[in-house]
Structures are given as C-alpha cells and as structure tokens.
C-alpha cells in the first residue's frame, strides 16, 4: 500500500479543544495551517467551566487508558509551551484529586487500585488512601473517614485554555477564520453537530451530543486537589472560582439553556463541600459535548473522502486527551504514520 503524500497545507475545521490543539501541533511541525470556525474559538462545549483532567482507574488496563495516561503525563509540557508561545495562561496545574471512600468494600478496592497505579503509572503519579483529617479544609464528606488521593489528576480552565491556544497560533500568524475555502488536507473537528452530519452522510449513527450543565462559585481555595464525589467534579481554578459539573442529558431541545438541573448541581456541591455554602454562584453554563458511538475519541481518515480526516468525540475527556490526540493526528496527516489505537479509529464508531 502506497504511503499518502505528506500534506503541508492543512485546513482544520472546528476551533474547539481538539481543533485548536491539532492546529498548534501541526504548526509547530512546520505545516501551513488555517483554522475555520464560523462561531469562533471555544464556542461549543470547549467553552465550558469545568476542566477536570482526571484519569481512568488504574485497573483492567487497555489502549484507551494507556493513551489517556500518555496524554495526561505530557500535558504539563504541552501547556507550558503553549503559554510561552502566546503569553496567555491556560489555567493548567496538576493539583491532584480527592474522592470519598464509601465503605469497607470501597476501601479494599481503593487499596487494590493503589497497587495498580504503582504497576501501571510507571512511578509518574500515585493513587493513595488517606484519612480525611489529613486532607485539609477543602475535603469532601466521606462516610468511611478515608479518601482516595491521586496525583495524576490536573485542572484546566477550558476558556483560558482555548484563549491560550488562540494566542499561541496567532504568534505563528494563524488566525481563526469564520469561513474560507479548504486548502490542502482537511481535518474535521466540528463537535456534536459534526457527528450528526457525519451520521447523516454515512447513513448510520456514529455519535451524538450529550448536553451538560455546570456552575462556578466565587471561592479561592488555592492550589488544592479537586474533588470527585456524588458524580460531581469540583475544581478549584487559579482565577479564584470553583467549577462544578456536570449533568449528562441525552434528550434536550435547548442546547444552551440552563435550568433546574444546574441548580441541583449547586445544591449537591454544597452538600459535598459545606465550605461552599456561603460562596456566591457567579456563572452558569450549558452546552453539548460530542460523544462518538464507541465512547472513545473518533480519529482518522474520513472513509471514502480522500484527504479528509475526523477528530471528534472528546466528550468528557477531550481536554485531557487533547495533547495526545493532536500528536497522533499530526503523525497521520503529515507523515502518513498510523499511531491511533484501534479503539479510537473511525471504523470503531461505524
């Protein structure tokens, strides 16, 4: 099989976290890139509030978990380079995460995962069980008195991250265009509506949008671990807010409407962390995240459309996966090198 011709002119359609990250890595490798999004950068689900870069549990290891681990471990260098290039802070910090331990069974499982992390995370991060009194003021309620503390989880402010990438691209002379003719190879990173269009084109469901809602409190907790409890991600950001999210709504008729489900998130967050009870809520957000049929990112050549590629389906893990997604898409489009895990390839969602 002949190797595809290396593409030096590339159009990226979509300026969410996947599109911007891919464009950045392509530009760093010397490609001539244009980024097109009629709605502007970070206008979809990448413009939210949460930004939890949280790992899968260290057990039952597979390609998806290994890919995510590589991406999370490379994130610090990735975002430092972006910040240095454009001068905008993306809000990244690897501050870790706390999770309550419900009972004895959960405690046994947590200890088993401690051993799993030692074997699978290569000494680059830990998954430990600690007593709640050792976790400080910003610690969740826990029935057992124990918490899981991992040091791999990081935070990222989605809006700041998109702004940082826009600034870094601008430093290389690349602006976000509302529309322009395609030039060279085309990478489609067009979010949930792109998945719907792709489903229509292929005559089968390859993915859909899942609505999410989130909120932000004005509370400066400092550089403390984020919390995952009662199905909520609670993230202290460097800008003096604490983000809480999110819902997962399969059925919706108003994608950007905030409703009572957001108020429920706020009440549950206060129950988990009573220190938030007096903190004002300063922002609420609703949007739709793209979930591929395989539930993993959907990456690779567009079937039967030569020179076109798909990078979609980040869903809840898009920001954590973005550095590695950008790397493997650049490998494919620039070098013709297939380094995408089988479960992430477009065929996995067909």
Quick: pLDDT tens for 280-326.
Answer: 999 999 999 999 999 999 999 999 899 999 999 999 999 999 999 99
pLDDT tens per residue across span 199-255: 999 999 999 999 999 999 999 999 999 999 999 999 999 999 999 999 999 999 999
Together in a domain, 145 and 194: no
pTM of the model: 0.96
CA 165 to CA 131: how far, in whole Å? Answer: 39
pLDDT for res 350: 86
The confidence score (pLDDT) of residue 3 equals 43
pLDDT, one tens digit per residue, over 287-297 is: 999 999 999 99
Confidence band, pLDDT 50/70/90 cuts, at residue 2 = very low
- Virtual torsion, Cα 168, 180, 325, 172, nearest 10 deg: -20
Q: How far apart are CA 281 and CA 83, in angstroms?
A: 29
Q: Quick check: is 2 in a domain? A: no
The verdict on 36 and 144 lying in the same domain is no
* Count of structural domains within the chain: 2
pLDDT score for 162: 98
Residues 109 and 213 in one domain: no
Residue 116 lies in a domain: yes
The domain in which residue 102 lies consists of: 97-151
CB-based contacts of 59, cutoff 8 Å, min separation 6 = 112, 113, 116
**Residue 119 domain-assigned (yes or no):** yes
pLDDT band at 137 (very low <50, low <70, confident <90, very high): confident
Share of the chain above pLDDT 70, in %: 98
Looking at the predicted structure, is the pLDDT value of residue 7 above 70? no
Q: Please indicate, yes or no, whether residues 101 and 132 belong to a single structural domain of this protein.
A: yes
Domain shared by 160 and 144, yes or no: no
**pLDDT over threshold 90, residue 89:** yes
Is 215 part of a structural domain of the chain?
yes
Q: Round to whole Å and give the CA distance between 241 and 88.
A: 18
Same domain, 89 and 190: yes
Name the domain boundary from 111, 131, 151: 151
Whether residue 65 sits in one domain with residue 85: yes
Nearest to 285 by CA among 47, 65, 85: 47
Q: How confident is the model at residue 54 (pLDDT cuts 50, 70, 90)?
A: very high
> Residues with Cβ < 8 Å from 192, sequence gap 6 or more?
44, 45, 207, 208, 209, 210, 288, 289, 290, 291
The Cα–Cα gap between 230 and 186 comes to 41
pLDDT band of residue 145 (cuts 50, 70, 90) is very high
- Note the pLDDT tens digit of each residue in 165-199: 999 999 999 999 999 999 999 999 999 999 999 99
Residue 349 has pLDDT above 90, yes or no: no
Q: Is the dihedral of CA 71, 75, 76, 82 positive or negative?
A: positive
pLDDT for the residue 8: 78
Tokens 């691209």, residue located: 169
Tell me, yes or no, whether 91 and 101 share the same domain.
no
Rounded Cα gap, residues 57 and 105, in angstroms: 16
Instruction: Report yes or no on 336 lying in a domain.
Output: yes
Asked if the structure places residue 3 within a domain, the reply is no
Contact 6, 26 (CB under 8 A): no
Mean pLDDT, residues 29-33: 97
Domain for residue 1, yes or no?
Answer: no
Q: Is 161 domain-assigned?
A: yes
Provide the CATH number for the domain around residue 28: 3.50.50.60
CB of 336 closer than 8 Å to CB of 4: yes
Q: What is the pLDDT of residue 242?
A: 98
136 and 253 housed in the same domain: no
167, 145: one domain: no
Residues 283 and 317 in one domain: yes
Q: Are residues 127 and 200 in the same domain?
A: no
């Amino acid at each position: 099989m002949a190797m595809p011709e290396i593409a030096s002119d590339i159009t990226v359609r979509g300026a969410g976290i996947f599109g911007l990250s891919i464009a950045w890595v392509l530009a760093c490798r010397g490609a001539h890139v244009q980024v097109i999004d009629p709605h502007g950068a970070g206008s979809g689900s990448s413009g939210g509030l949460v930004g939890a870069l949280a790992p899968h549990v260290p057990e039952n290891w597979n390609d998806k978990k290994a890919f995510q681990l590589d991406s999370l471990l490379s994130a610090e260098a990735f975002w430092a380079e972006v910040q240095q290039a454009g001068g905008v802070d993306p809000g990244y910090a690897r501050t870790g995460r706390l999770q309550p331990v419900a009972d004895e069974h959960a405690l046994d499982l947590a200890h088993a995962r401690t051993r799993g992390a030692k074997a699978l995370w290569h000494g680059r991060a830990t998954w430990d069980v600690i007593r709640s009194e050792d976790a400080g003021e910003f610690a969740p309620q826990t029935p057992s008195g124990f918490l899981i503390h991992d040091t791999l989880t990081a935070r990222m402010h989605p809006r700041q991250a998109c702004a940082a990438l826009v600034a870094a691209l601008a430093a290389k002379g690349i602006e976000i265009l509302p529309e322009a003719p395609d030039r060279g190879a085309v990478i489609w990173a067009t979010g949930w509506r792109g998945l719907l269009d792709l489903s229509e084109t292929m005559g089968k469901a390859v993915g859909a949008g899942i609505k999410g809602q989130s909120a932000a409190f004005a509370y400066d907790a400092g550089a403390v671990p984020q919390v995952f409890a009662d199905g909520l991600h609670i993230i202290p950001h460097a800008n003096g807010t604490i983000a809480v999210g999110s819902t997962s709504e399969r059925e919706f008729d108003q994608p950007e409407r905030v409703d009572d489900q957001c108020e429920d998130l706020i009440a549950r967050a206060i129950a988990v962390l009573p220190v938030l009870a007096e903190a004002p809520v300063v922002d609420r957000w609703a949007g739709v995240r793209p979930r591929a049929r395989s539930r993993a990112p959907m990456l690779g050549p567009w079937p039967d459309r030569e020179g076109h590629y798909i990078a979609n389906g980040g869903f809840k893990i898009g920001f954590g996966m973005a550095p590695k997604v950008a790397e493997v898409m650049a490998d494919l489009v620039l070098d013709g090198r297939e380094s995408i895990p089988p479960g992430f390839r477009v065929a996995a969602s067909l």
